[in-house]
Amino acid sequence: MKQEQFIQQYQPQWDQFGEWLDYQQTPKKQRKALLEPTLDFPQAYRQLCHHLALAQSRLYSPLLIGQLNELVTRGHNHLYTSRLHFAHRFINFYLRDLPQLVRREWQAVLLAGLLFFGSFFAILIAIQIQPDLVYSVIDGSQVADMEDMYDPTRTSRFGREREADSDIYMFGYYIKNNTSIGFQVFSGGLLYGLGSLFFLFYNGLVLGAVAGHLTQMGYISTFWGFVAGHSAFELTAIVLSGAAGFKLAAALIMPGRKSRALALHDNAQDAIKIVYGSATLFIMAAFVEAFWSSQTWIPLMVKYSVGIALWLLVIGYFTQLGREPSTAFSQAESQP
């Protein structure tokens, strides 16, 4: 293909690419008065790189090659800058936005925490007084399995039914199990919050019944040593899933002047962010549970110490991280 034909065929694409880059580099305040050009940037950028390679291989004029090279360079810089922006947003989300959002939604978090931990400790204490209550929550076969998994005479790993399972397999299993609980609790908010209420209360009862029964059996070191490490991440994630579900429910129950659809759309923006945090905690819990909690060679006091440290870390993260410096401190810093 001759150079003139090449330019005639692809010049409109190059012009469109350049106009799109110009728009992206325009300050945001000035963009409001402009119409954003339509462009599939990844595909257009790949095509432009291909056109530059063709022009170089066919020994087209240096002027054309320079024009295409400039567009490719601008496209590369935009792509690199976008990746940096993503990394910046990613870091800001976890170091500032997420803990601020959780504090802002403290009422939903408090309600979810009361339901979950209230039922958990209520049944745990009740079983110490009336041990047979465990069978009103969990059937006999499951109780027997739990007793076997946390039997102090075991020399293999705790919390597992099949000894052949690898740590990596159990890591995946725990992620699947934990996230399924979180999804039930969260999506239950769409039933005007009744689903979230039920699953928070139910999971609190089940976990509390297991903890209460094994405690009453005297399996304190094996069970509590096992859950100490990952409990901060896992239990907090369940509560956050419930808070996200209540955020959805609030839009359906109290939409205010908005339509329920619009209120649900707006509240879902924050709810999904909370779910991101919950999912991250579930993955962290699964990692600790698979590679740390089940180990039998780790001293019990070490497990307890790590568990306490992780609880303090989670509490400190959500209560302290992302706070703005106080006015007094800022003024003091600004003075010479």
With tokens 């703005």, the residue in question is 324
How far apart (Å, rounded) are the C-alpha atoms in residues 291 and 294? 7
Residues 6+ positions from 221 with CB-CB distance below 8 Å: 152, 300
Measured CA angle at 283 (ends 92, 121), to 5 deg: 105
Q: Read out DSSP for 207-243?
A: HHHHHHHHHHHT-HHHHHHHHTTTHHHHHHHHHHHHH
Q: Rounded to two decimals, what is the model's pTM? A: 0.72
How far apart (Å, rounded) are the C-alpha atoms in residues 52 and 65? 6
Residue-range domain boundaries for the chain: 3-94, 105-320
For 264, the token pair is 């649900």
**CB 185 within 8 Å of CB 103:** no
User: In one letter, which amino acid is 207?
Assistant: L
With tokens 């989670």, the residue in question is 314
Per-residue pLDDT of the chain (336 residues; tens, 9 = 90+): 788 888 888 898 998 888 888 887 777 777 776 777 788 888 888 899 999 998 898 888 889 888 999 998 888 887 777 555 667 778 888 998 999 999 999 999 999 999 999 999 999 999 999 999 999 999 999 999 888 888 888 766 776 654 445 778 888 888 888 899 999 999 999 999 999 999 999 999 999 999 999 999 999 999 999 999 999 999 999 999 999 999 999 999 999 888 999 999 999 999 999 999 999 999 999 999 988 988 888 899 999 999 999 999 999 999 998 886 543 344 444 443
Cα 194 to Cα 2, 269, 270, 310: the distances in Å are 70, 21, 20, 31
